[in-house]
Structure 1
Amino acid sequence: MNFVASQFPLWALWLGNVLALLLLGVAVTRVQWRVLERRAVNAWLGACVVLLGFWLGRAGLQPGLSFHLLGATVFTLLMGPWLALLALAVVLLGLAAGGQLEWSALGLNYVLSLLPAVGLTVLMLWVAQRRFAANVFVYVFVNAFLTGAAGMLLAAVCGLAALLLAGAYPLEHLLENALPYYVLLAWSEAFTSGLVLAILIVYRPHWVATFDDARYLDNQ
């Protein structure tokens, strides 16, 4: 999404910004900064730059509606949820600094577009670890591929619902001219998420915070 401040009432913009700041404050306190591996941190910073490039290449002809890869599932699996929330916020700040997003609408973009996908990724990882076998295929297919698609769709539904409730677009317009594109984009999100995580756990598994060698490899 690329929400425009004029599409929402002032109270909604303030609420989004306050919630985003509170969430980031919690994330800062939950990250174990002293145990972060330097090489992994460098890789994560590189991921922020790559995602920023993907978002700069977004498509969209109408205010508040843009189509681009989300990257939330990859970031969550790669860094863990708290560091992912901080990294995704850095990407949003970079876009705002470059004039691609409105500063006053950053909170809504963060809470409605990124938070749902991160939360769903955490939930699916928890479910997979308790309901499925400790298998690399399960990690890549369920936690990266399928969750990447589901996270994109969830973020799209949350964003479209917000635009509908704000009166920015009628329901018919959103269902006919926006939702189908997000469904198609979800498959791109799934493929990219699965491919990136598959490559990383083969060549750089120590960069993936949620991948445990002892769990997924030693038991094979």
Structure 2
Amino acid sequence: MNYPASLFPFWLPIAAALMSVGLLAVAAWRVKWRALSPEAFNAWMGATVLVMVMWTLKGGFKPGVSFHLMGVAVLTLMMGPWLALLALAIALGGLVLGGHGQWLDIGPTWLVCGAVPALLVDGVLRLARRWLPGNLFVYVFVNAFMAGGASYFASALAGILMLGLLGSYPWDYLLEDVLPFHFLFSWSEAFTTGLVMAVLVVYRPHWVASFDDARYLDGPPTDGPV
């Protein structure tokens, strides 16, 4: 999904860009850069490039109405929400440099396709840690599969609301023709996120910041939920 600035009133892309810069500054400040190992940094950059490539493989009907896997849930579970938000900003910048869109497109796209799903996945992770048993099934099924699909659909709903409220497309077109495709793609996002995270926690658990062996393999920690 991407949202060209040409679809909106002139003020919205500018306001979205300013808001995005502010949130990215907060994200950069919240990241514990000194605690980031070289291997984790390389994994972060590699995942950023893979997401950028993934976003070039898309189909759609009209500008602002495209369908593709996002990978934001994987980024969030691997790196935490702050590094995920920075990674997606880098990926979108790379796409613009490669001729896929304009610079003013980044603000609305990053907010809808980056901030919304990343914060949702992080919220689900926190709730699961507090209220659900600490085991591998919960991590893969709830935090990866379910949260991955929900994050895609939440992002799609936010985009549809933005397009509809600002008059970019008629509501009947968005709800009858666009929304069902997003619902189907949310299942693809859920399956892909669950599969990727299941593989990573088995073969590269040190790349996954949200995964803790003591919690998900050895049982819940003795000091209670976090």
Structure 1 runs (4+) greater than 2 angstroms displaced: none
Any idea what SS the aligned residue of 1:184 has? helix
C-alpha separation in 2, matches of 1:56 and 1:105 = 15
Q: Deviations over 1:153-197 (max 9, x none)?
A: 000000011011111101100012211111110011001100010
Q: For structure 1, which runs of at least 5 residues remain unmatched after alignment? A: none
C-alpha separation in 2, matches of 1:83 and 1:27 = 7
Match of 2:164 in 1: 164
The alpha-carbon deviation at position 213 of structure 1 amounts to 1.2
Match of 1:196 in 2: 196
AA aligned opposite 2:70: L
Residue 33, structure 1, aligned to residue 33, structure 2: yes
The alpha-carbon deviation at position 93 of structure 1 amounts to 0.6
AA aligned opposite 1:130: R
Match of 1:53 in 2: 53
Moved more, 41-50 or 20-29: 41-50
Match of 2:224 in 1: none
Normalised by the length of structure 2, the TM-score is 0.95
Match of 2:178 in 1: 178
The alpha-carbon deviation at position 136 of structure 1 amounts to 0.7
Any idea what SS the aligned residue of 2:61 has? strand
Any idea what SS the aligned residue of 1:210 has? coil
Any idea what SS the aligned residue of 1:15 has? helix
Quote the RMSD (CA, aligned, Å): 1.0
Match of 1:79 in 2: 79
The alpha-carbon deviation at position 218 of structure 1 amounts to 2.0
The alpha-carbon deviation at position 60 of structure 1 amounts to 1.1
Q: Deviations over 1:114-141 (max 9, x none)?
A: 1110111011001100110001110000
C-alpha separation in 2, matches of 1:198 and 1:37 = 22
C-alpha separation in 1, matches of 2:213 and 2:21 = 34
Match of 2:155 in 1: 155
Match of 1:88 in 2: 88
AA aligned opposite 1:54: M
Residue 133, structure 1, aligned to residue 133, structure 2: yes
Any idea what SS the aligned residue of 2:60 has? strand
Normalised by the length of structure 1, the TM-score is 0.97
C-alpha separation in 2, matches of 1:61 and 1:126 = 36
AA aligned opposite 1:178: V
Residue 19, structure 1, aligned to residue 19, structure 2: yes
C-alpha separation in 2, matches of 1:134 and 1:61 = 42
Any idea what SS the aligned residue of 1:112 has? helix
C-alpha separation in 2, matches of 1:47 and 1:88 = 10
Residue 121, structure 1, aligned to residue 124, structure 2: no
